[in-house]
Structure 1
């Protein structure tokens, strides 16, 4: 029997899904899951940087999209099988060169056919907001 709490086991399962995919390759880790909310972190590393020496905007966007995606999966309506992203919007306010990124994604709308998620990406150590993100997810159902 595991000594891990139910929440820890749940996070282990979520993070195991990332292995062998882009979120796992980049180093994104889901750190908390609550109804309608997901938190994730990403250590800043050289492979996340743009050629100009600053954090690549795509790295920030991938963190936010991953958090919103896992949030959507955890909050699918009954009978739904999966989801796909319909639209993404991000506003980048600042950048970073070291430390960790922290993202909090929150469900704004949880309908039967779509979900709308907002995410805020911050520098974990300073709390400075780096980007604001919004995405629309289409809920997918099995054919039948």
Structure 2
């Protein structure tokens, strides 16, 4: 499948889900990464007008989980999230943030993803780690 078809497929399966609610869109894919974009608007703000950490974590888990389905054997295994952690390094009031998921460890049973959330200038907003498990169907 080519890049555009992969992105179309990822975006299509997100309709009527949390990703749709948060306006998350998959925008780039390569041999070892998947990137999604989320607008920073009042919809994802904390009461003081900056990006909510929970919205960042939802973005990170969304892109990490989608990457799992692209890069792991989902015909024979169900992929589930085990743990996610996040460190927020910078606030953001508007514009967009971009989350890129890459493997840190690709084991047969467990996988560790690094998800970097950056702004339009590639400044780090949050760094997250997601652990997934592959369960035989």
Q: TM-score, length-normalised on structure 1?
A: 0.89
Unaligned runs of 5+ in 2: none
Match of 2:36 in 1: 40
- Corresponding residue to 2:101 among 96, 100, 105: 105
Contact 1:71-1:107 within 8 A present in 2 as well: no
Deviation per CA, 1:42-70: give whole Å up to 9, x if none: 11121100112111001111111111111
- 2 CA distance for matches of 1:132 and 1:94? 10
Matched, 1:133 2:128: yes
- Structure 1: where are the runs of 5+ without partners? none
Q: For residue 73 of structure 2, give the secondary structure of its aligned residue in structure 1.
A: coil
Question: Tell me, what secondary structure is at the counterpart of 2:47?
Answer: coil
Structure with higher Rg: it is 1
Provide the alpha-carbon RMSD of the alignment: 1.5
In the TM superposition, what is the alpha-carbon distance from 1:35 to its structure 2 partner?
2.6
**For residues 115 and 47 of structure 1, do their structure 2 counterparts lie closer, same or farther at Cα, with a shift above 3 Å needed?**
same
Q: Deviations over 1:85-124 (max 9, x none)?
A: 1111110001110110011110111111111100110112
Corresponding residue number in structure 2 for 1:58 = 54
